[in-house]
Amino acid sequence: MQTAFVLLLAGSITRLLTHDGPDARTGWSLGLFLAFGLLHLSGRIWGPAPRLGERPTTRYLVRLGAVVAVWLVLLVLEPSATWCTLPLLFTGLLRLPGQVAVALAALLTLLIVASELRVATGPFNPNLVIAPVALGIVAAAVLLHSRRLADRQRLLIDDLVRARGELAANERHTGALAERERLSAEIHDILAQSLSSQQMLLQAADRQWHTAPGTAQEHVREALAGADRALAEARRFVRDLTPLDLDGHTLVHALRGLAVPPDGPRPDAGTAPGPAVEFRLDGTPGDLPQHIETALLRVSQGALANVREHSGATRAVITLTCSKDSICVDIADNGRGFEPGRAPRRREARTRGHGLALMKMRARQAGGTLRIESAPGEGTVVTMSVPRAAREDTTAREPLKAEEATP
């Protein structure tokens, strides 16, 4: 529109210089044309238009009034100034309030009609009236439609900016919750299980302190070894969050280290008194992503901790089953079992841990699933299965519901 204004202004000046020839008014008209163009084109510098939806500034109104005033004088001196009206309507009146812009456009249209009729010669030409009015109506319609579209666009942009801010806040909140759940799982697996095992060992040592001092001292030594191991795990957790059992070892080696032979020495010092644990391997695991190995190991450790603390089992079996597309670990025991769907009493939910919920969360983060099969008096089987190509999902988290608390 500014380019059209420059071209029409140049056409008006050319007509001024070539149509009637130079006379006394030519110099004044030429100066007014140049002032008119300079005022209009330099408005972005000293009287910029307001943004859509904002009230016009005083400087903008002064500049627009000066442009219209010079144009009115030109309209009296040189009728070709009417050619510059349409660009003036679009570029000058667009940012005014709607009713003011339409009223001013109607006034300018009437002035154009009057100017055309004033200089017309010969029979009456209806186009001198119809054409300016039609152009004025089109200009007013386009102005109003452009304003309506601009208002809608502004509202849409505001909504998008607000939605983007809310989305970013939700992502930060979700990330914080996921990180909190992850750290909760690591603390549970590293500290809570170790402290529970040490507590059981020390309680056993206290009961046998006078009747079987040798056995009691052995329990104390195992508790000390468990404390040393938990300290090493905690330091490694702070350093790189990698399980100590997987540091330089395979998953099979780490799971085999959880086995406890019946009536034999425990390969994993610090293990609380509990059932004999057997490890079985079906297939070859091969190279697995670190997050899958960590999840399988942590789920196995958590399931065994539940077996020792809650099941009353005398035997447990860890089975690692490896296929071409997936890998699965089963932890089965012959304990008292439970009803997986039964919600614990409120006191139990407060005092017991959240092992099952954390195991489910770990399985989901590793891209796998966790299944629990149990019934009263029939033992429990905890199964975690994960595809080999599963990607780690750091946003997956499982709410710690009361009905999922460790029974």
d(CA 12, CA 6): 10
Q: What is the CATH number of the domain that holds 183?
A: 3.30.565.10
Q: Of 387, 379, 380, whose CA–CA distance to 356 is shortest?
A: 380
Q: 59 in a domain, yes or no?
A: yes
Q: Can you give the residue range of the structural domain that contains 313?
A: 166-404
The pLDDT, as a whole number, for residue 321 is: 93
**pLDDT (0 to 100) of residue 32:** 85
Q: Are residues 292 and 225 in the same domain?
A: yes
Tokens 């939605």 sit at which residue? Answer: 163
pTM of the model: 0.44
Report yes or no on 138 lying in a domain.
no
Is there a domain that residue 205 lies in?
yes
Q: Is residue 161 part of a domain?
A: no
Q: Do 245 and 372 sit in the same domain of this protein?
A: yes
What are the pLDDT digits (tens) for 271-284? 446 788 999 999 88
Amino acid 168: pLDDT: 83
Q: What integer pLDDT is reported at residue 402 of this predicted model?
A: 39
Question: What's the pLDDT score for residue 1?
Answer: 73
Instruction: Clarify whether residues 241 and 340 are in a common domain.
Output: yes
User: For the chain, which residues score pLDDT lower than 50?
Assistant: 265-272, 346-353, 397-407
For 200-228, the pLDDT digits (tens) are 888 888 888 888 888 888 888 888 887 87
Evaluate whether residue 64 is within a structural domain. yes
R_g of the chain computed on alpha carbons: 43
What is the pLDDT at residue 45? 74
For residues 180, 182, 186, 188, the Cα torsion angle rounded to the nearest 10 degrees is: 60
By the 8 A CB rule, do 351 and 366 touch? no
Say if 41 falls within a structural domain: yes
Give the integer Cα–Cα distance in Å for 247 and 245.
6
Same structural domain, 343 and 244: yes
Residue 157 domain-assigned? no
Question: What pLDDT does 95 receive?
Answer: 65
DSSP label at residue 260: B
Q: 251 and 108 in one domain?
A: no
Question: Residue 271 has what pLDDT?
Answer: 46
Quick one: 87 and 174 in the same domain? no
pLDDT given at position 203: 86
Q: Do 105 and 189 lie in a common domain?
A: no
Helix (H) or strand (E) holding 330: strand 326-333
Q: How many structural domains does the chain have?
A: 2
Same domain, 88 and 190: no
Q: Which of 14, 123, 142 is nearest to 78 (CA)?
A: 14
Distance CA 203, CA 264 (A): 21
Q: Letter for the amino acid at 258?
A: L
Do the Cβ atoms of 327 and 390 come closer than 8 Å? no
